[in-house]
Amino acid sequence: MEAEITYAEVKFKNASPTEEVEVPQKKQQQHEQHTQTCPPWLPWLISLLLLLVCVALVVVLLVTHVPQSCDKPAALQGNHTEWHCILAVHQGKGRDLKCCPEGWRPFQESCYYFSDNQMPWDKSQQNCSGMGSQLVVINTKAEQDFLYKEIQMKYQQKGKDFYIGLRAQKVGQWRWADQTPYNESAAFWRSGEPSNDPNELCVVIHHKTENLQNWNDVPCTTHSSRICETAAATL
């Protein structure tokens, strides 16, 4: 009985090595066959797809960045394909482009539209508002000089006066369309104006004046041309 038990144990230990060697060889052959089934062009295809994904991401970033950096009024963006730009240089802050749509004139931070048709003050303001702008608010002598030269150069011979965004609710109580307080030191009235007539509560730039002092108060029902102003797009 003891001899048979010893023989059985030795027989079990000597029988297993052959099987242990064969199993890894089969697994290795299967792995090699699986590796050989991948086509040689597959890595190139993967690289090309990754490149296309990167390009698409760059395009998306550029498209989403432009509207954020260009603060264009929505009404101006929709109907214009051509834009005119001027280079604006800021002290200590670099430089950028100030752009206005076709038909608008750029100056400093704003765009200006000089109308050909004529209407009362209220409708003039509504018309400017419909274009994403408002009747011009004149804050500086430089801005007044720009408007004066534009009118002298292009509109003086047409005999047109232009509404600006200055109006009074009562005689002497002048206020700008954007609620900017009226500044007497930055006013450009013609000689003898304002007339302080309770029937003349709106203001035009008079086309015949030979200098910067060309504001004239008129009845708000007067049909005049207008100057609209809006912020320039920054690039």
Q: Domain check: are 49 and 144 in the same one?
A: no
Average pLDDT over residues 51-77: 55
In sequence order, the β-bridge partners of residue 204 are 163, 216
For residue 195, the enclosing domain spans 113-234
Q: pLDDT, tens digit, for every residue of 134-169?
A: 999 999 999 999 999 999 888 766 778 999 999 999
Helix/strand/coil percentages in the chain, nearest 5: 40, 25, 35
Flag whether 196 is in a domain: yes
Q: Domain check: are 224 and 128 in the same one?
A: yes
C-beta separation of 122 from 170 below 8 A: no
- What is the pLDDT, as a whole number, of residue 42? 74
C-beta separation of 126 from 228 below 8 A: no
Q: Domain check: are 151 and 52 in the same one?
A: no
As a whole number, the mean pLDDT across the chain is 78
Report the CATH number that the domain containing residue 137 is assigned in CATH: 3.10.100.10
In sequence order, the β-bridge partners of residue 98 are 86, 234
Q: Domain check: are 135 and 201 in the same one?
A: yes
- What is the pLDDT, as a whole number, of residue 226? 97
Flag whether 15 is in a domain: no
Flag whether 177 is in a domain: yes
Flag whether 106 is in a domain: no
Which residue, 69, 90, 125, sits at the end of a domain? 69
Q: How many domains does the chain have?
A: 2
- What is the pLDDT, as a whole number, of residue 40? 75
Greater model confidence, 55 or 22:
55
- What is the pLDDT, as a whole number, of residue 9? 42
Q: Domain check: are 119 and 47 in the same one?
A: no
Q: Domain check: are 119 and 203 in the same one?
A: yes
pTM: 0.64
166: nearest Cα among 198, 145, 189: 189
